[in-house]
């Protein structure tokens, strides 16, 4: 089972149903993806629930526009899948919507956006596109 794909689908479904808060199972990679989404302004807030050591989770507060009640995340697209990983060199990093969106990447320096990887001149695995 693709845990990152499931994570992105849960966020996509919660935003389509206009939920304010979403709770998903936790992992190290999911925590890093949530931090990137928060830093770039795609989610309102997040909280790591570590009290129950058997089932840690992440609570995510989704961000909506006050004017027309639309979600700030228009699309979440999984790129690298367990059956077909997508690795890119830093010279061929993707540009999402001509720079308006972000590509979340897993690199040797941690999880970051395509813009950060481009400035550090490192490539890696393209996890997803967010716009």
Q: What is the pLDDT averaged over residues 36-51?
A: 94
Q: What is the pLDDT averaged over residues 81-85?
A: 95
Cβ-based neighbours of 43, under 8 Å, separated by 6 or more: 34, 37, 60, 61, 62, 63, 72, 73
The tens digit of pLDDT for each residue in 7-35 reads 999 999 999 999 999 999 999 999 999 99
Percent of the chain with pLDDT over 90: 88
CB atoms within 10 A of CB 12: 15
Q: Options 3.40.720.10, 3.40.50.300, 3.30.470.20, 3.30.1490.10; which CATH number does 3-130 get? A: 3.30.1490.10
The tens digit of pLDDT for each residue in 45-66 reads 999 998 767 889 999 999 998 8
Q: Average pLDDT, whole number, for the chain?
A: 94
Strand ranges for 26-123 from DSSP E: 43-49, 57-62, 76-78, 87-88, 102-107, 110-113
């Amino acid at each position: 089972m693709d845990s990152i794909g499931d994570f992105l689908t849960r966020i996509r479904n919660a935003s389509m149903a206009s939920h304010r808060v979403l709770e998903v199972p936790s992992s190290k990679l999911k925590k890093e993806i949530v931090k990137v989404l928060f830093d770039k302004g795609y989610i309102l807030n997040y909280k790591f629930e570590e009290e129950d050591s058997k089932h840690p989770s992440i609570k995510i507060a989704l961000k909506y526009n006050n004017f027309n009640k639309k979600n700030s995340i228009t699309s979440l697209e999984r790129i690298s899948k367990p059956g077909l990983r997508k690795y890119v060199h830093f010279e061929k990093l993707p540009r999402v919507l001509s720079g308006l969106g972000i590509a979340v990447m897993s690199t040797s320096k941690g999880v970051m956006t395509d813009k950060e990887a481009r400035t550090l001149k490192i490539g890696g695995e393209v996890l997803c596109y967010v716009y």
